[in-house]
């Protein structure tokens, strides 16, 4: 039987990444997903530099900051703010400055209201 050709699917890439992590032989992986060994080796070489650059970015960041924009749910053209994103944005919101508070005019004082 001939091996599959064309680009690797997401399931195949996930399978390769996870089984390489646990130390499975590349030949066994190739047999499991019915792909040539050369394409799997090429994928592993391509993925390794990306993984090391991502881990370097994570180690450079001393304390990862939560950003509200990362907490949104984005799907099919719509965006939904999660409770976590709302909490983050409320915590970072600055209180109104004194300049703006001086512009507010009260019709009735709080003392006179019964």
Query: How far apart are the C-alpha atoms of 107 and 114, rounded to whole Å?
Result: 15
Whole-number pLDDT of residue 67:
66
* C-alpha count within 13 angstroms, C-beta hemisphere, residue 51: 9
Give the C-alpha separation, 38 to 28, whole Å: 13
pLDDT block averages, 10 residues each, the chain of length 114: 80 90 90 91 84 58 61 72 78 66 69 56
pTM beyond 0.85: the answer is: no
CB 19 within 8 A of CB 29: yes
């Amino acid at each position: 039987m001939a091996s599959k050709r064309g680009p690797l699917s997401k399931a195949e890439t996930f399978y390769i990444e996870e089984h390489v992590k646990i130390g499975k032989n590349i030949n066994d992986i190739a047999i499991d997903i019915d792909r040539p060994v050369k394409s799997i080796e090429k994928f592993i070489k391509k993925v390794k530099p990306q993984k090391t650059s991502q881990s370097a970015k994570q180690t450079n960041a001393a304390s990862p900051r939560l950003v509200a924009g990362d907490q949104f749910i984005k799907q099919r053209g719509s965006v939904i703010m999660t409770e976590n994103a709302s909490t983050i944005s409320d915590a970072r919101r600055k209180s109104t400055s004194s300049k703006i508070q001086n512009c507010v005019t009260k019709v009735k004082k709080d003392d006179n209201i019964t």
